[in-house]
């Protein structure tokens, strides 16, 4: 997955913490609401049972003991009327026969409490027994509205989620301040000159401080390794340059001697081979020192002049194949030697893969930038090879199969020099409507445009 698409799909750590907090709050709110509703319903039911049992006990105490049936019925009717004002219904039974009260009340066992659901309400009834009499007290209660309770729970949960999300995001941002500072410190570390000094900082978080120390140690080791590698490359290039120069001089002298045709051809092949090795050494040396020279990029350089100077140095056969179109001088701030190496390697790469085809070089100045484009007539590059083409010593399978000359360093040097000048080098698609009609590769090098400094008046 491309980095940009992966970045778009990713969520920030603060958002993840906020979402996690909101989900936790939602679950906690739902569990708490469910437990609260269940507990409230149980407490209400227990209170209702206590009231009904008190009523049955009071009726049993008020009924006359060992009275005749008429006196017992009158006493029951009095109790029924008395409790009616409290919305309590009373039924008194002796065995299975009703002595008095509400015949609709259920027949229960002593100490039993039951609920009976109705169309609009539910009945709660409790029973007590004494002396052969069974007293049942019942009261109508509004059924528990599950839907309303659920809506209330969901509303409360939604509020809790919103509050938890906002609070969690703010808390996460506060907690991530040390990481944000660390990220800013890492952003200030230069890739070409990594130094641990840029990672200094005072973190009030133990974990981030430990991470900063580990990164500081890593950057320091990387810087040392990079310096060692550059020094080795530069030393190796210098050591190779001297014997190659001597061999070239000897071959030049030998070429001036009268030689037979086979010997002359062999000497010429050796001269070309030594020249190729010399160019390889020079490129290795430039690649090793490009970032060091980037600290001295102070000259105003016209890319148009650099390109035309290169064209003048090309052999006649190659010069006829290169077409230059400049829509401006292409002024940039940089090192002229490095920029000359950049243009030379870009054009040399295009000539190499164009066969006998031509190469178009354009210099443009769009909106504060200078764009150098080199388009060839070669086979082009697949999207998979466009990024890897700038890696040192990378060669496409097609170039290896066709035995195209080269070492895979030219484009790596182009990218290194462009980066040292705060620019970039990429391969782009050639539009189908392009006036050149080419279908090969198009190398685009983008550099910041030079702008004159305002002269301060004294």
pLDDT, tens only, 87-107: 899 999 988 888 899 988 888
Residue 252, C-beta contacts closer than 8 angstroms, at least 6 positions apart: 271
Give the pair of three-digit tokens for residue 105. 């009340």
In DSSP terms, which residues pair with 435 in a beta bridge? none
Mean pLDDT, rounded, of the chain = 80
pLDDT of residue 284: 62
Taken in order of first residue, the domains within the chain and their CATH numbers are 13-147 (no CATH), 297-448 (3.30.565.10)
According to the model, what pLDDT value does residue 216 have? 83
| DSSP structure string for 35-98 | HHHHHHHHHHHHHHHHHHHHHHHHHHHHSPTT--HHHHHHHHHHHHHHHHTTT-EEEEEETTEE
Which tens digits make up the pLDDT trace of 240-253?
A: 778 888 888 888 88
Its pTM stands at 0.49
Confidence at 294, pLDDT banded by 50, 70, 90: low
* pLDDT category of residue 362 using cuts at 50, 70 and 90: very high
Average pLDDT over residues 259-268: 82
CB contact at 8 A, 319 and 309: no
pLDDT tens figures, 176-214: 777 777 777 777 777 666 777 767 766 667 777 788 888
Number of H helices, E strands in the chain: 13, 12
């Amino acid at each position: 997955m491309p980095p940009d698409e992966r970045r778009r799909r990713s969520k920030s750590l603060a958002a993840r913490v906020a979402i996690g907090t909101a989900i936790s709050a939602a679950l906690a709110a739902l569990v708490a609401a469910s437990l609260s509703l269940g507990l409230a319903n149980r407490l209400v039911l227990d209170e209702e049972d206590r009231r009904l049992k008190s009523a049955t006990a009071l009726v049993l105490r008020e009924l006359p003991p060992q009275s005749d049936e008429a006196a017992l019925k009158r006493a029951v009717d009095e109790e029924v009327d008395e409790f009616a004002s409290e919305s309590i219904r009373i039924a008194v039974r002796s065995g299975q026969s009703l002595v008095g009260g509400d015949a609709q009340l259920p027949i229960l066992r002593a100490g039993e409490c039951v609920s009976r659901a109705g169309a609009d309400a539910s009945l709660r009834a409790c029973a007590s027994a004494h002396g052969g009499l069974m007293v049942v007290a019942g009261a109508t209660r509004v059924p528990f509205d599950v839907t309303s309770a659920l809506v209330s729970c969901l509303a409360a949960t939604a509020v809790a989620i919103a509050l938890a999300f906002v609070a969690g995001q703010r808390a996460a941002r506060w907690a991530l301040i040390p990481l944000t500072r660390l990220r800013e410190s890492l952003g200030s570390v230069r890739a070409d000159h990594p130094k641990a000094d840029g990672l200094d900082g005072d973190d009030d978080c133990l974990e981030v401080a430990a991470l900063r120390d580990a990164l500081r140690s890593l950057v320091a080791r990387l810087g040392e390794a990079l310096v060692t590698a550059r020094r080795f490359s530069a030393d190796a290039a210098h050591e190779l340059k001297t014997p190659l120069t001597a061999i070239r001089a000897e071959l030049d002298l030998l070429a001036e001697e009268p030689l037979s045709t086979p010997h002359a051809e062999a000497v010429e092949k050796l001269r070309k081979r030594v020249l190729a090795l010399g160019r390889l050494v020079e490129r290795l040396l430039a690649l090793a020192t490009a970032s060091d020279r980037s600290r001295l990029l102070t000259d105003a350089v016209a890319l148009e002049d650099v390109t035309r100077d290169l064209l003048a140095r090309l052999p006649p056969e190659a010069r006829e194949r290169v077409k230059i179109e400049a829509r401006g001088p292409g002024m940039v701030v940089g090192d002229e030697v490095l920029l000359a190496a950049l243009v030379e390697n870009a054009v040399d790469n295009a000539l190499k893969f164009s066969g006998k085809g031509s190469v178009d070089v354009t210099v443009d100045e769009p909106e504060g930038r200078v764009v150098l484009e080199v388009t060839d007539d070669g086979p082009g590059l697949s999207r998979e090879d466009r990024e890897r083409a700038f890696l040192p010593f990378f060669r496409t399978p097609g170039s290896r199969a066709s035995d195209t000359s080269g070492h895979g360093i030219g484009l790596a040097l182009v990218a290194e020099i462009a980066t040292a000048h705060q620019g970039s080098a990429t391969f782009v698609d050639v539009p189908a409507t392009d006036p050149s009609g080419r279908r090969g590769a198009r190398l685009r090098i983008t550099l910041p445009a030079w702008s004159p400094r305002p002269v301060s008046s004294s």
